[in-house]
Amino acid sequence: DTAVSQTPKYLVTQMGNDKSIKCEQNLGHDTMYWYKQDSKKFLKIMFSYNNKELIINETVPNRFSPKSPDKAHLNLHINSLELGDSAVYFCASSPQGINEQFFGPGTRLTVL
């Protein structure tokens, strides 16, 4: 009965490859997010969807493309991976904005 799940947990890949990270929540929340956490633990919002509609897109390179097939799923596809994309990516969901966001376990992406 995991609340927010992400796959894969670890992703190691070569520069230039394309990869996807999947996220699913079973909490019935309307809003889902993608965050990037760098090696200094800075947690930065990338995207937010509300009921399958993109509502936040925070100056992220267009190599990153989120997709929300339904309000329980928010996937992240990354094209032409670069070294600087190495980070932990967290998916989160919430019923009401910043109040009580539930985070997935994270996906540690390493680009070689």
What does the binding site for other proteins look like in residue numbers (CB under 8 A)?
33, 40-45, 48, 55-56, 58, 90, 92, 97-106
Q: In which order are the strands placed within the sheet that holds 4-7?
A: 4-7, 19-25, 73-78, 64-70
Q: Give the C-alpha separation, 54 to 40, whole Å.
A: 28
- 14/28 with CB nearer other proteins: 28
Which residues, at least 6 apart from 97, have a Cβ–Cβ distance to it below 8 Å?
31
Q: What is the nearest approach in angstroms of other proteins to the Cβ of residue 73?
A: 18
